[in-house]
Structure 1
Amino acid sequence: MTPDATLRALFEAEKLDDARFSPAFLAQVPASKIAQILSQLQQSYGALQGITPDGDGYRLRFEGADIPARIALDQEGCIAGLWFGAPVPSGSIEEHAAAITGLPGAVSLLVLEDGRPLISHNADAALAVGSAAKLAILKALSLAVRNGEKQWSDVVELRPEWKSLPSGTLQDWPDGTPLTLGSLAHVMISISDNTATDALIRLVGREAVEAVSPRNSPFLTTRELFTLKTREHAALRLEWAGADEAARRLILERIANMPLPSAQALAPEPTYKAAEWFFSAQELCTLLEETSDLPSGSINPGPVDPGQWQHFSYKGGSETGVLNLSSRVVGADGIARCVVATWNHPSALDENSLLLPYRGILTALAGRSQ
């Protein structure tokens, strides 16, 4: 049987036979587990309606979603490898937008096509966006390069005072490691490296980032943000929340020499209302547009399917109670489209409640770009 016929047979079988799978595969995953996965897919998304080639794999079309899949057969035609990707809900842009705007809490959504809004919901509301704020730092750095103040190839040595908590890896690298500004920008955006973020804020200058985003003055480093978010500094966090810009700068002077807190010291409850970075969906679309010529945003696609687009830029952000997804994509028609969704709620979020309809919007837009 061909690979696609084998895939179809899996969904049509009343009971999976071990003989369909290679011994090496069954040693890793029992057939009963595969049967459970197949059942869950059909319960969640309806009956399988078709299978089409998609790159090095296939796209499974169910009643309620498309799901990417890959399958490998051995010389005997037995399944030696099987993978299912993240589902992309089917439906119109408006249907997916309604699923997002109907989420509890504070939600903003902006879908731009060639600069014109297709969907706009609270697009000017400044919500907590987590690491999507790093787009402002990338913009400030790009301006410094454009003005001749910096070069992407400039080399700096990693300093201990720049080191922050993950996400990222640079916090584990030896002090003094030489790094270019370009490489710092790449890891800041692609893996949301917090140490690279703080390094660039220090190197470009806090005031340069604040010029890009005046609302967030003083613009917090990630290390400062983590310090404010500890259990120990609950009172200081409340003081920060109620302070004006001048008073906040004094608070930053007070915490400047405090040691980096551990991840275990952070408050478990949502603290984004007191201390975070706040951007509107419109502002993030503008930042994506202004940095779209830089390669940093095109390394990690996040929820974007690169196969559907000629070019993409992506940055997201999250913490407890906060989730942001921000993408700029260019289709075969050469038209740029931006999709920014932000969700704030004072409890832990089910990320798929935003992620799945967000992917659905991108897929629907890709269909428009053909």
Structure 2
Amino acid sequence: MSATVLVDVIAAARPNFMKVAPLYHALSKVSWCRVRLVHTGQHYDANMSDSFFRDFGLPKPDVHLEVGSGSHAEQTGRVMMAYENVCLEERPDWVIVVGDVNSTAACALAAVKLGIRVAHLEAGLRSRDRSMPEEINRLVTDAIVDLLWTPSRDADANLLAEGIPPEKIDFVGNIMLDSFELVRPRIAKADTLAKLGLDLDRYAIVTLHRPSNVDDPATLALLVEQLVESSERVPLVFAVHPRTRARLESSGLLERLESAPAVYLIEPQGYIDFMHLVTSAQIAITDSGGIQEETTYLGIPCLTLRENTERPVTLTEGSNRLLKPAELVATVDQVLGDEIRRRTPPELWDGQAAGRIVASLAQRIG
């Protein structure tokens, strides 16, 4: 390929940044590609975005849409309008969208309607739960894009069952682990506990943000009690998402956690500091998608407070367990009593996905 191809890589929210980084660096090294990094601004808090750019050596975005927060419709609509203008000003040859946030579906829709080819990284994941906004974004995006890069074989099967032509699907492996390996030496050297003023030999790391867990006051109250009781078994380091903190404050539950002697509430961390906390933890308690993958890779028990997961390979081949809020204390007891056996990571979860993605894109362009 002699001509330079303009490829837009869309970064939107905290889970996207770590996936974008290894792919951005890989694309930047090939002579046939000019990469334009587009930040939609869906996460605009410095702890939720800027620190991730620093951690992964990403440059200042070429384009910043600055859409900010809002309802799902407002956010999706703003991204579509803003990104359409970007494409009309300088039309990319390919657009790469990542994951399942509102910006993923919005940029895919805007580009496809302009006749621009779109690739979806982390395609084919399904929770089968359409009450999750992320599931709608996955379904919409996968239905309209030109190229689908999947992280696991079950994702291929999902797409084929939905009628996606097999020639559009490339199994490339899990880009999240490229991100981890990219900065693994820095993760190992980080002294995050000391920086946070915590002197702990053992602990569980906690993250919660999904509406099903934090929006209903009764469910949130139950979870808080389960967390406090769990902290009597193992100290908890709880990285509190801004949305979760707002719900805890509005429901009068924040003080309950603050007064628990073995619950340590911290601000959201950059990737390196957060992953240092994860790699040193005995257990992860979460409702996040990415942490299910990282703990599977590391062999760390993960207790996922959800009724389903779009990453079933973390259950069948990994260290993840699904549970209801009322089951947390009993499951913590069970896990602390188990001898943890590390399993071999799933197929192509090897830190080399970015290279396969670049080769896949080159083949389509060539």
For normalisation by structure 2, the TM-score amounts to 0.26
Which structure shows the higher helix fraction?
A: 2
Which structure shows the higher strand fraction?
A: 1
Q: Which has the higher contact order (CA 8 A, sep 6+)?
A: 1
For normalisation by structure 1, the TM-score amounts to 0.25
CA radius of gyration, larger in: 1
